Amino acid sequence: MLYNIKPLHLHCVFHGIRFKVNKDWLSGIDSLLFFIYLLAIPLFIIYSSPFFTFMRFLLINLLTQSTKILYLHLLFNVKRKHTN
């Protein structure tokens, strides 16, 4: 019966585990950057713009596409509230 079992190479198993861990780690980084960005909005209003520019760089380059859409939507809603 053992000769019917297809071999599963260990590198396939470890690649799957590594992919899952990296995916979870990146989603945690997305959440952290989101909270930092929310803190940057009041600081931008009180202080100067270099910090805000740095946060925009992080938002554009480091976050995933799905979270960018959500965060930009929240940002535009905050800006509308401040302008009214």
pLDDT tens digits for range 12-59: 555 555 555 555 565 666 666 666 666 666 655 555 556 666 666 766
63 in Cβ contact with 33 (< 8 Å): yes
Higher pLDDT, 72 or 47: 72
pLDDT band at 65 (very low <50, low <70, confident <90, very high): low
Domain ranges, ordered by start, for the chain: 26-84
Task: Identify the pLDDT of residue 9.
Answer: 56
If DSSP codes are grouped into helix, strand and coil, which group holds residue 8? coil
Cα–Cα nearest to 33, from 11, 61, 5: 61
Report yes or no on whether pTM surpasses 0.75. no
Reported as a pLDDT band with limits 50, 70 and 90, residue 8 is: low
Separation of alpha carbons 70 and 65, rounded Å: 9
